[in-house]
Amino acid sequence: MNGAAQGASVDWAALSPLLALAGGALVVLMVGLFPGRGVRDRVVPGLALLTLAVTAGLLVWQYDTSTDLLEGALRVDGLTVTLSFVFVVAGMATVVMTWRHLDPVESPGPELYTLLLSSIGGMVVLVAAQDLVTLFLGFELLSIPLYVLCAIQLRRRGSLESGLKYLVVGSVGSATLVYGFALIYGAAGTTGFAGIAEAISGDLSSDVLLLAGLALAIVGFAFKASVAPFHQWTPDVYEGAPTPITAFMATATKAAALGVLLRFLDVALLPAAEAWAPAVAVLAAVTIVVGNVGALGQSSLKRLLAWSGVAQAGYLLAGVVVGTSLGVQATVFYLAVYLLMNMAAFAVIAARERETNLGDSVDALAGLGTSRPWLAWPMTIAMLALAGFPLTAGFIGKFKLIEASVASGYTWVGLMIVIGSMISLAYYLKVIAAMWMREAPAGAAAVAATGPRPALAGASTEAQITAPTRHTRRGTGELTVMAVLFGAATLVVGIVPQPLLDFAAKAGEAFPGLF
Amino acid sequence: MTVPWLSVAVAVPLLGAALAALLPARLTAAPRLIALGCAAVSALAVAATWVRFDGGQGMQLVEEVEWIPALDVAWRLGVDGMSLAMAALTVVLFAVTIAYGVGPRPMTRAAAALLLLLEAACLAFFLAQDFILFYVAFDLTLVAMYFLIALWGEANRRYAALKFFLYTLIGSLPVLLGIIALYLTSEPNTFDMTVLAADPAVRGAGTGATLIWLAFFVGFAIKTPIVPFHTWLPAAHVEAPTAGSVLLAGVLLKLGTYGLVRVNLQMLPDAFARYALPVALLGLVSVVFGALVALAQRDLKRLVAYTSINHMGYVVIGVAAAAAAGGASRAGELAVDGAVFQMVAHGVVTAALFFLAGFIASRAGTRDLDELSGLMRPMPVYGTLAALAFFASLGLPGLAQFPGELQIFLGAFAVWPAVAALAVLGLVVSAALFLRALQRAFLGEPAERWARLPDLHARELVALVPLMVLTVALGVYPPLVLDLIDSTAWLAGAGP
C-alpha cells in the first residue's frame, strides 16, 4: 500500500492495531495519575476498554491485509489478525472481571491496565513476528507484564508466590528460547524466518547445531504454552494469581504461545518438519495424558482448569504438528473457542469468589443450579464444551483437530485426543454434578443470602459474618452478564459454526507454503 | 409444496421443549398441555410419513438443508422401513409416557422440556441421514435421560445417573472416531449416510476396516447393552423414575441395535461378516446371562431390566446372523427382519412391564416379589394386564415378541445351529422366571396389607392400554410392521 515511499517506509495502516495498544497503554498510565477514586474505579478501566475496542475496530479495518511490515520484522496477515481478535476479546473480558474484583484496599491502580495492554501488545508482536529477534521481543513484552500481574495482589501470599514462581520459570523458558535461537542463527546464518526456511531446506536438516537449537526453542515455547513436561508451574501459578489474571493467562497467553508455534514451526522450520514433527507429536500425546490425569483429583477450580488447560494445549499441538492449512485452521478455531469456554467458566468462578467465602473450591458451586441458574447454565455449557460435547463449540473444535490429525496420517494423535476427552469427562462432570446434584453447603448459603442482616442470627460469630459481608459488598452483575454472553456464544458457535470456521480459515490462508 | 413431515416430527418437540422451559412458572397446567400437544403433532407427522412411504427400497422422503457447509454437514433426514418403524415406536412410547407423566404432578416445566428434548433427540437419531446429526442426537439423548434420572429418580439416583452418563458418553467417543474415519475414507468425503450405506466406502476386513468397525461396535454395544458392557443398565433402570425406565428400555436401548444395523451392518458389511461369530457369541452370553440373573431377582424392576439384556441379546444374534449370511440370502433377510421386529416388540412390551412395576411400587411401596402376594384378587385389571405382558415377554405365540424371536432363530439356525439351539435356552429360563413371578405375586391369597390395594386408575390405563393393544396386534398380525421392515433393502451394499 505504501511501498513506493523511500527508505524505511512504514505501512501505518497495517501497524495501527499495535500502535493503538501501545498508545492506549501510555494514556491509561498517565490518566491514572490523576487523583480521585472516580478516575481509578471508572475512567481507567473505561479507557482500557476503549483502547481494546479501538484496536478491535482497527483489526476489522485491516481484516484482509496481508503484508510485511518494518523490513520484514513483522507480518500482518490472517493469522495475526485472527489471533489478535482473540487477545483483544480476552483483554476486554479481563478488564470487566478486574473492574470490581480486587479488594479496594489493595488498590491496583492504573498500572494493572497498562500492564494488561502492554502484554496484549506483546502477544500481537509475537504472533506477527517474522524474525527471531522480533519474536523474542514480543515474547518478553508479553511475559514481563504478566509476572507483575500475577503478583498484583500485594497483600496476598498466594498472589506473590504465583508471581515469583512464574517469573522464575518464565525466565528459564526465555533463556532456553534465546539459547535455541542463537544456535538456529548459527546454523542458518540469518534471523529472518524466510531466510531460515531457505537455509534449512538444503541438507541442513540433519545439522546437529540446527537440531539442538530447534529442540531448545521448542522447549522454550513449551514452557509458555504449558506443554508437558514443562507444565509444572501452571497449577500453582493459576491458583495463586488473581482470578481475572488467571483467565487472561489461560486464554490469551495460550493463544499467543500456540500462535507463535504455528508461525515458527509451520513457516520457518517447515522444511525440517521431519525432524520436529514426530517429537512435537509425542509432546502432544504426553501433554494430553498428563493434563487429563492431573486434573482428576483437583478440588480447586482454578487448578482444575489449569490442568485441563495443559490437556487442551496437547489437543492444540495436534493442529500444529500436522503442518497443513487444515491444521492451522483447526488450531485457530479451537483457540477462539477455547477463549469462549474458559471465559464463561472463569466469570462464574470469579462471581462465586465474591459471593461465598469458599474461594475457587468446587464446593463454591454446590447447589448453584437452583440458587443461581444464570451462573449454573453458562458453567454447565462451558464444562460440556471443554469436554467436547456435541452442540457446543468445543465439539466442533475437537472435531476439526481430530480431522486434521487423521487426514495427515497422525491417526494416533487423533486417538489420543479421543482418549483424553474420555478421561476429561470425569472431572468436568464432577463440576456439573456439584452444581446440579448437591445442596449448597450451609456456610455458602448463608453468605449468599447475607444482605444487611446475618442469615443465621445467633449462630454466627462476628468474625464469620464480617468476613463474607466484605465480599458481598461487591456485586456480580457484570460477571453474570459476561458468563451468560460467553456461554451463549459457546452454544451458538456449536450450532452455527460456519462463520467462525471461515474466520479461522483466514488464518490458514496465511500460510502459502502449506497445502 | 409438500410438508417436510420428518423435520416437523423432530422440530416440533424441540421447539416445544424450549417453549416449556421458558414458560412463566404460574401457568401450572401449560407444561403438560404443551408436551401432549407436541407429542401428538410429532406422532401425526410420523403417521403422515408412513402414509407417504411407498414400501420401496433405500432411503426415501429425504429432506436436506445445509448446516455447516465447510464440513459438508447438513440437516438431512430420511426414512427406510427400519427408520420408520423405530420412529413410530418412539412417538407411541413418548405419547403414552407424557400422558402418564414423570415426577410430581402437575408436570413441571423441566419435566416437559426434558421429555420433549429426549423425544426430539431420539427421532433425530432414527431419522438422521447425516452422520454428525446422528452423533449429535446420540449424545443429546444422554443429557436428557441423565437429568430425568437425576432429578426424579429414587434414592441412589445421582450415582446411577452419573454412571449411565459416563458409560454411554465414553461409548459414544469411539463412535465419533469411527464417523471421522468413514468420512475420510469415503470418496469424495461425505457425512451423507445414504451415500455411505448405498455404496460402502470401506470394503474388506483389513486392519483399517476392523478398527473402524470395532469403534462403532463398542459404542453401540455399550448402549444396547451387550454383556460385558451392561453394568450401567441395572443401576440406571432401578433408580430411574417409571417414565425414565420406560423410555430407557423402550427407546434408548434401541439406539444401540439400530446403530449396529445401520452402520456396522450396512456400511461395514465385510468386516461384520468376519467378526459375526464373536458378536453372536456375545449376544448368546447376553441372552443366557440376562435370563439367569433375572431369575435370581426379587425386585420386579430389576427383573425386567435383566430380561432386557436377555431380549436385546436376541437382537444382537439376529444382526450377527444377517452379517454372516449376507444380505442376498434368505437366512440373512429373516434374521435381520426378525431383529428389527424384535426391537419394536421389545420396546412395546418392556415399556408396559416397567409401567406395571411402577404402578405397583406407587401403591404397595415395594416391588419385592417375595413380599407381594395375591395381587390378582384386589387388582383384577392390573393382574390381567400384567399376566398378558409377562406372557408377551416370555415369547408366547400370538403376542408381540414371538414373531421376531422366531425369525431370529430361523435365520440364526441356518448359520450357526449350535448358537441358535443354545439361545433357545434363554427362552426356557425366561418362561420359568415370569411364570414364577406370576405365581408368587399375583396368584393365591393376598396378604392382609395388600387386600385393599386400589386397581388401576384412568391415567394409568391411558398409558398401559395402548401398549397392550399393540402387544396383541403385533402378535396376531405381524405384517403390520413386518411389511414395512421387509420392504427395505437391508444390505444394499453387501454383495456376495
3-state secondary structure A384-426: HHHHCCCCCHHHHHHHHHHHHHHHCCCHHHHHHHHHHHHHHHH
* Phi, psi (rounded to 5 degrees) for A506: -60, -40
Check if the beta carbon of residue B256 is closer than 8 Å to that of residue B225. yes
**Nearest partner of A268 among A230, A319, A323, judged by Cα:** A323
- Give the pLDDT confidence of A190-215 residue by residue, as tens digits: 888 888 888 877 665 568 888 888 88
At residue B163 the predicted structure's pLDDT band, cuts being 50, 70 and 90, is confident
Sign of the alpha-carbon dihedral angle for A76, A213, A218, A416? positive
Are the Cβ atoms of A396 and B68 closer than 8 angstroms?
yes
> Is the pLDDT score of B70 beyond 60?
yes
Are the Cβ atoms of A437 and B177 closer than 8 angstroms?
no
**Cα–Cα distance measured from residue B8 to residue A376, given in angstroms and rounded to the nearest whole number:** 31
Tell which A residues from 363 to 402 touch B, by Cβ distance under 8 Å. Answer: 389-391, 395-396, 399, 402
Domain boundaries along the sequence of chain A:
269-441+476-510
Q: Is residue B337 part of a domain?
A: yes
User: For A219-223, A336-340, B27-31, B328-332, which range has the lowest pLDDT when averaged over its residues?
Assistant: B328-332
**Cα–Cα distance measured from residue B179 to residue B166, given in angstroms and rounded to the nearest whole number:** 20
Extract the C-alpha cell encoding A499.
462463520
A153: buried, middle or exposed (CB in 10 Å: 19+, 13-18, 0-12)?
A: buried
Check if the beta carbon of residue A176 is closer than 8 Å to that of residue A220. yes
Q: What is the pLDDT of residue A467?
A: 41
> Is the pLDDT score of B369 beyond 70?
yes
Q: Which of B143, B146, B156, B176 to mutate to test the interface with A (most CBs of A within 10 A)?
A: B176
B275-313: buried (b, 16+ CB within 10 Å) or exposed (e) per residue? bbbebbbbbbbbbbbbbbbbbebbbbbbbbbbbbbbbbb
**CA distance, residue A463 to nearest chain B CA (Å):** 36
Calculate the average pLDDT of chain A: 84
Q: What is the pLDDT of residue A451?
A: 39
- Give the pLDDT confidence of A122-161 residue by residue, as tens digits: 999 999 998 899 999 999 999 999 999 988 887 788 888 8
- How many Cβ atoms are within 10 Å of B273's Cβ, its own excluded? 19
Q: In the predicted model, what is the mean pLDDT of residues A280-308? A: 91
At residue A513 the predicted structure's pLDDT band, cuts being 50, 70 and 90, is low
Q: What is the pLDDT of residue A180?
A: 93
**CA distance, residue A353 to nearest chain B CA (Å):** 27
Q: What is the pLDDT of residue B327?
A: 67
**Cα–Cα distance measured from residue B54 to residue B298, given in angstroms and rounded to the nearest whole number:** 47
Q: Could you write out the DSSP letters of every residue in B117-182?
A: HHHHHHHHHHHB-BHHHHHHHHHHHHHHHHHHHHHH--TTHHHHHHHHHHHHHHHHHHHHHHHHHH
**CA distance, residue A460 to nearest chain B CA (Å):** 32
Within 8 A of B166 by CB-CB distance, chain A residues are 425-426, 429
At residue A108 the predicted structure's pLDDT band, cuts being 50, 70 and 90, is low
Residue of A nearest to B139 (CA): A390
Share of chain B above pLDDT 90, in %: 48
Strand extents, DSSP E, A78-188? none
Q: Is any Cβ of chain B less than 8 angstroms from the Cβ of A406?
A: yes
- How many Cβ atoms are within 10 Å of B368's Cβ, its own excluded? 16
Extract the C-alpha cell encoding B263.
452402520
> Is the pLDDT score of A444 beyond 80?
no
At residue B1 the predicted structure's pLDDT band, cuts being 50, 70 and 90, is low
Calculate the average pLDDT of chain B: 88
Check if the beta carbon of residue B415 is closer than 8 Å to that of residue B338. no
What residue numbers bound the domain in which B410 lies?
A: 275-491
Cis previous bond, B225, omega within 30: yes
Question: DSSP code of A438?
Answer: S
At residue A111 the predicted structure's pLDDT band, cuts being 50, 70 and 90, is confident
Are the Cβ atoms of B70 and A498 closer than 8 angstroms?
yes
Share of chain A above pLDDT 70, in %: 88
At residue B489 the predicted structure's pLDDT band, cuts being 50, 70 and 90, is low
> Is the pLDDT score of A53 beyond 50?
yes
**Cα–Cα distance measured from residue A367 to residue A445, given in angstroms and rounded to the nearest whole number:** 9
> Is the pLDDT score of A265 beyond 90?
no
Q: In the predicted model, what is the mean pLDDT of residues A219-225? A: 90
Which is more confidently placed, B269 or B71? B269
**Cα–Cα distance measured from residue A278 to residue A286, given in angstroms and rounded to the nearest whole number:** 12
Q: Is residue B338 part of a domain?
A: yes
- Give the pLDDT confidence of B89-134 residue by residue, as tens digits: 999 999 999 999 887 777 888 889 999 999 999 999 999 999 989 9
**CA distance, residue A414 to nearest chain B CA (Å):** 8
Kindly calculate the radius of gyration of chain B based on its CA atoms and give it in whole angstroms: 21
Check if the beta carbon of residue A120 is closer than 8 Å to that of residue A21. yes
Which is more confidently placed, A232 or B199? A232
**CA distance, residue B184 to nearest chain A CA (Å):** 7
Q: What is the pLDDT of residue A83?
A: 92
At residue B487 the predicted structure's pLDDT band, cuts being 50, 70 and 90, is low
**Cα–Cα distance measured from residue A172 to residue A169, given in angstroms and rounded to the nearest whole number:** 5
ipTM attached to this prediction: 0.72
Q: Is residue B151 part of a domain?
A: no
> Is the pLDDT score of B12 beyond 80?
yes
Q: What is the pLDDT of residue B309?
A: 93
> Is the pLDDT score of B496 beyond 60?
no
Q: What is the pLDDT of residue B491?
A: 53
- Give the pLDDT confidence of B142-158 residue by residue, as tens digits: 888 988 998 888 888 88
Sign of the alpha-carbon dihedral angle for A379, A382, A385, A386? negative
What number of C-beta contacts closer than 8 Å exist between A and B?
Answer: 59
Point out which residues pair with A131 in neighbouring strands.
A192
User: Closest to B184 (Cβ–Cβ): which among A399, A406, A436?
Assistant: A406
Q: What is the pLDDT of residue A8?
A: 58
- Give the pLDDT confidence of B417-461 residue by residue, as tens digits: 999 999 988 899 999 999 998 988 888 888 888 888 888 888 899
Q: Is residue B365 part of a domain?
A: yes
At residue A454 the predicted structure's pLDDT band, cuts being 50, 70 and 90, is very low
Q: Is residue B113 part of a domain?
A: no
